[in-house]
Amino acid sequence: MRILTSIALILTIVAAPAAPAAAAAQAACTWRVTALPAPAGYSYAVANGVAPVSGTVVGHAVRADGSGRDAVVWQNGSPQVLPKPPIEGSGSNRADIVNNQGVIAGVWWGANNRVTAWRYRAGTYDLLPMPATTMGISVTGINTAGDIIGQSFTLSPSSQGLLWKAATPDQYTSLGSSTYAVGIDDAGRYVLNTRVIVNPDGSRVTLARQVFVRLYDRGRILTDDLDKKTVVEWNISGQVVREFAGTYGHAVNASGVLVATPPGTAYVAVRNGSAWEQFTVRMTTSEGITDANVVVANFDHDGTTQTEQVAGTWQRGC
């Protein structure tokens, strides 16, 4: 017994100095960036979204002659320009969201001020119907089936939430005036900016606190409590999962690793468990995070505010 106690004491003494070294190694871990290249013939490219499992990134690239921009998809870091949608005239195209099956959604702006939302799958465009009074359009969420949620902007009412089902591409469902959805899941459940969770059977749950709803992704609802300056996460039953000091949840994955803004700074960081981990390049937003913990964002690549931010991916390294 005395021998075992002595051995334990020796191990304790030997192991004690290793703890600071382990902590130092942990502190040295950072999120390092790899730039996503612009396609040939374009001046720079911007990322707008990422598929949670496949890691496919979508965005747009600005033409070198300054005439507009075109939708781009990156697979394994290699860019490909999407073809022009079947719309007459010149204009600009932007890819905003993508699912794991490679279905992409985005928006076309025509030189004649025509704006059109679209779905792109298997090399074919579906032009999505919109209210006749639409002056601007955004697409904000897509699920595995290719169902898309977005928002139409008009003079009156100011906005209208929209749902486009993949099974009925020539129809849309209005989600209500001055309302929009912040995300949709594979069951068809979506979450509204009005703090309402709309379930597939039509039943609704309202979050019990006055919070600002940021996003719904992979079963996680991220909101801001603006009075307390906290990020509040909820589950699909309307229960609080966690709350911590910070603001603006930009992205979250299935395991709960998220990108948000820590207290006292304008820049975003990764919230990994209970710790904040910084990016190697300071950023103010993030476009998404995969389940493999790859963060997609745009960053200051040359240290000057006179040039545009460009697309990149971040991975944790120690």
What CA–CA distance (Å, rounded) separates 60 from 58? 7
State the pLDDT at residue 306: 62
State the pLDDT at residue 289: 98
Please count the other Cβ atoms lying within 10 Å of the Cβ belonging to residue 64: 12
What CA–CA distance (Å, rounded) separates 103 from 244? 35
99, 106 contact by CB (below 8 A):
no
Phi, psi of 68 (to 5 degrees): 155, -160
Q: What is the mean pLDDT of each run of 10 residues along the chain (318 residues)?
A: 34 38 51 95 96 98 94 97 95 98 97 90 96 93 97 83 94 93 97 97 97 97 97 98 97 97 95 92 94 95 76 92
State the pLDDT at residue 16: 37
* Predicted TM-score of the model (pTM): 0.89
Burial 277-309 (b: 16+ CB within 10 A, else e): bebebebbebbbbbbeebbbbbbebeeeeeeeb
What is the DSSP code (8-state) at residue 205? E
State the pLDDT at residue 6: 36
Please, what's the largest Cα pairwise distance for the chain? 89
Tokens matching residue 167: 């099974």
State the pLDDT at residue 318: 76
State the pLDDT at residue 133: 87
State the pLDDT at residue 290: 98
